[in-house]
Amino acid sequence: MNCRYLLVLLCLIPAWAQADIYKAVDADGHVTYSSAPLKGGKRVVVSPSAPQAAPERARATPTPAGFPKVNEETQRGRDDTRHKILNDELNTEEALLITARQNLQAGEANRSIPRDNDKMKDLKSQVDLHKRNIEALKTELSKLK
């Protein structure tokens, strides 16, 4: 029987521990919450039975009225230029990958001394570098409209 009273008492402790919460917003829009009163702050009423909602995020500042806008034709031209540059870089990296693979094959064919292992590691790292660059460029190209 005493265990039931203890259980009920333990369930009520969180309700007793609830403190007042104060919210203040400074001139820059930064929100501060505190359990002590803040200068210029307001007391926030929190109901223990109400579900806790996430605090509102600061909204992004809208574009200023005088901010220059780019017309659709200019933006399309910029996008086309970016697409061309990425394609050119992709073609260059693919050519460099072919050369790096040829150098690696030549190095494997001529490998006669154990100290050549460092050279082989460098050749393999060049091949891997060009592979990663090609994947990155393909990812960027896939993101374009």
What pLDDT was estimated at residue 8? 60
Interacting residues of 83 by C-beta distance below 8 A, sequence separation 6+: 141, 144
Comparing 35 with 74, which gets the higher pLDDT?
A: 74
pLDDT at 135 over 80: yes
With cut-offs at 50, 70 and 90, classify the pLDDT of residue 46: low
Q: How far apart are CA 126 and CA 130, in angstroms?
A: 6
pLDDT tens by residue, 85-131: 999 999 999 999 999 999 988 888 876 656 668 888 889 999 999 99
Supply the Cα-derived Rg of the chain in whole angstroms.
32
Nearest to 54 by CA among 36, 31, 35: 31
Comparing 11 with 74, which gets the higher pLDDT?
A: 74
Nearest to 134 by CA among 89, 99, 104, 102: 89
- Phi, psi for 131 (deg, rounded to 5): -65, -45
What pLDDT was estimated at residue 27? 79
What value does the mean pLDDT take over residues 4-16? 58
The residues spanned by each domain of the chain are 72-143
What pLDDT was estimated at residue 137? 93
Which structure tokens are listed for 86?
A: 């990425």
Q: How many CB atoms lie under 10 A from the CB of residue 82?
A: 13
Mean pLDDT of the chain: 80
